[in-house]
């Protein structure tokens, strides 16, 4: 009668050891998953397709002029954002991208790098993008182009092409 009791205790010990092993493995797996969580992915890029009036294209080519496509990344601050992070326009500066292209070329912006430290202060509308286009000032100290702009959500243009048309100033 004593022997079945010993087997029961042995069975209980095996069961407890198994449970402890499962608990330890679950905790280790949980810690692995926590450690392997990657930071949010950087926003994917976008392209800017600039089109020109015939007169603008002729002037740019004749003057061996380039074109600058500049993007300014901003955001509205959420309540409680320290004032030192907010600029004179009431926005947070998140970064800039620019590219000098030949007339007729497409500006390609790869993965967009945003100031990660500022993201915690961004309101729910998220990062915004303003794209300006102007001449490279190779043939003149002044900008030669009157171009449209893009102003809106960065998320809306990720992986997309932004069309911007230009003409000569005064045309």
Distance (Å, whole) CA 66 – CA 57: 11
| pLDDT on residue 42 | 64
| pLDDT on residue 33 | 41
What residues does each domain of the chain span? 1-37, 46-168
The pLDDT of 144-148, averaged and rounded, is 98
| pLDDT on residue 153 | 96
User: What pLDDT digit, counting tens, does each position of 73-127 carry?
Assistant: 999 999 999 999 999 999 999 999 999 999 999 999 998 899 999 999 999 999 9
Query: What angle (nearest 5°) sits at the alpha carbon of residue 104, between those of residues 99 and 109?
Result: 30
State the residue for tokens 């959420």: 78
107 CB-near residues (< 8 Å, 6+ apart): 47, 48, 50, 69, 99, 101
Distances (CA, A) of 146 to 53, 131, 133, 142: 10, 13, 8, 12
Instruction: Name the band, by pLDDT with cuts 50, 70 and 90, for residue 18.
Output: very low
């Amino acid at each position: 009668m004593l022997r079945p009791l010993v087997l029961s205790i042995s069975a209980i010990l095996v069961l407890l050891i198994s449970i402890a092993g499962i608990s330890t493995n679950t905790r280790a797996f949980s810690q692995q998953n926590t450690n392997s969580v990657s930071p949010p992915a950087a926003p994917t890029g976008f392209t800017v397709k600039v089109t020109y009036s015939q007169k603008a294209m002729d002037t740019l080519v004749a003057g061996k002029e380039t074109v600058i496509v500049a993007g300014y990344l901003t955001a509205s601050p959420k309540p409680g954002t320290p004032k030192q992070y907010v600029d004179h326009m009431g926005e947070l500066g998140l970064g800039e991208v620019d590219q000098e292209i030949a007339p007729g070329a497409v500006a390609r912006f790869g993965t967009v790098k945003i100031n990660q430290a500022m993201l915690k202060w961004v309101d729910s509308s998220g990062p915004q993008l303003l794209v300006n286009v102007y001449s490279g000032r190779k043939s003149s100290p002044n900008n030669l182009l009157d171009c449209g702009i893009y102003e809106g959500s960065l998320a809306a243009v990720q992986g997309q092409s932004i069309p911007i048309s230009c003409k000569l100033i005064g045309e």
